[in-house]
Chain A
Amino acid sequence: MDSGKEKKKKNESKKEIIEKVKDGDKEAFNALIRIYQQKIFKLAYCYFQNKEDAMEIVQETFLRVYQKIKYFNEEKNFQNWIYRIASNLCVDYYRKIYKKEKKLLNKIKEKFILSTNNKKQLKILDLKDILKKSLQFLPHKQRIIFIMKHYEGLKYNEISRILKISVGTVKSLNHRAIKNLQIIANKFIRDKNEKM
């Protein structure tokens, strides 16, 4: 009961902050940044696997929030709204920046395989790197859903509301993402073993 009450209080205070931001209160906007910056950073960091791009996405997300908050319907969930902005930005940013560097990405893949000559290195640390790299090869929606589910800890219905797709689609995309990640990771490991 107490946790329920606390949640309600938190939501009310968030609503107040959003109202103040709508009225142009900079302090309130600062408070909003402090509440959501870590969540957005986590999403972007998992998506791009580097701090710089993640920071870029965080800044751009809050800039969009500032510009578009007047259109935000207060009856809806703000967290869903900001996650939607951030995930769209991740996809756009990836298309804009990384598409040009697709060739470079392939080179990274080769480099990654060639650099691991020592057999001992192929342990859990390598597998973690493999997972990071494999994530980069997932389709955007699968990647976003996988990150939201397994890194951000969001529920299926929350993700479905953020991405505006059905819960069933989210579930199946999540399962497909896991399968694809396994396939990609296995391919990496096989390539690596062949090189050694």
Chain B
Amino acid sequence: MRKCRKIKKLLIPFYLQELSNKKINRVKSHLGTCETCLQEYKKIKQFFKIVKENKKEVEKVMSSMKWDYVSSIIMEKVKEEIAFEKGKYFFQIFSLKPILSISISLILLIGIMVLLLFQPWSKKYISKNEFFISSSSFENIESFLAKEEAINYLKQSQLLLTDLMKFSSPEEVDSWTINFNSQKAKNLLIQKKYFDERLNHIDLMKAKKICNQIEFLFHDIIELKDQPYFENIRKIQRIIKREQLLLRIRLIEQELS
């Protein structure tokens, strides 16, 4: 019985030919004498016969498979996975490097805080009755208005100076015209006070230079009210001619417009 127990343990490796020659001989001689062990061995043999049958069946299943189709399915799945991985990349940044993720989060947080603080979309900046003008367009409008004002001023000055140039003899001088002209000169001087700063600001230096020259003449014209003498008028006329003021005024007018 003891021997049978030992031999039974060796039956499977004996069938699988995993034993040494010595053990093979021992099992063989025992199987020749012991009927129960022989029956046991026959069972093992039958078992492996079934395994072989089963193996054949598996081979049948294997040959019935369409392997090209299987490989195409696998490739499809892999491609899907690649696409998914690419999509996941953005979120992977956060999981890969903690320092990077913290810094990105901080930048985002600061950005959100700045937006909330200044609220560019808020009514504070644009309301229903207001409209937003950029600084550059505001400057453009300002310079346009200043130019218009300068042109208007120069035109009025030109008319005044042309009026003065009409006097050719002392007989033509009448107090009413002189008074009218001096009043006009006064008004123009007041007008100049207002747009003087704008001319400075928009760099209309040429216009400003001629305006200053005319200003001195206007003071003389205002004085004519008290001393309406032809000589004084002639003096002004000479200055106008010498400085070619009328021509220069015209040129600047053209330049500005």
Contacts and interface: CB of A to CB of B under 8 A. Distances in A.
Contacts of A63: 74, 77-78, 81
Chain B interface residue number, banded: 20 to 34
Given A34-B67, A55-B70, A171-B18, A132 B75 contact: no
A131 B73 CA distance: 31
Given A67-B81, A124-B53, A33 B75 contact: yes
A128 B12 contact: no
Nearest to B59: A42
Interface string A47-65: 0000100010011001100
B87 to A, nearest CB: 15
B71 A37 contact: yes
Contacts, number: 76
Contacts of A107: none
Interface string A173-188: 0010011011001000
Contacts of A13: none
A59 B73 contact: yes
A127 B50 contact: yes
- The residue among A26, A33, A55, A185 with the most chain B CB atoms within 10 A of its own CB is A33
A124 B50 contact: yes
Contact of B78 (A29, A127, A150, A185): A29
Majority DSSP secondary structure for residues of B touching A = helix
B54 A33 contact: no
B47 interface: yes
Contact of B51 (A26, A51, A131): A131
Given A150-B55, A178-B44, A41 B74 contact: no
A58 B73 CA distance: 10
A34 B71 contact: yes
B34 interface: no
Contact-residue size bin, chain A (C-beta under 8 Å from the other chain)? 20 to 34
Contacts of A171: 13, 18
A117 interface: no
A46 interface: yes
B11 to A, nearest CB: 10
B161 to A, nearest CB: 87
A66 B75 CA distance: 10
A151 interface: yes
A45 B47 contact: no
Interface in A23-41: 26, 29-30, 33-34, 37-38, 41
B58 interface: yes
Interface string A1-40: 0000000000000000000000000100110011001100
A74 B110 CA distance: 48
B43 interface: yes
A157 to B, nearest CB: 13
Contacts of A66: 78, 81
A33 B74 contact: yes
Contacts of B13: 171, 175
Given A58-B70, A178-B47, A46 B58 contact: yes
Contacts of B61: 45, 51
Given A29-B78, A34-B71, A66-B78, A182 B54 contact: no
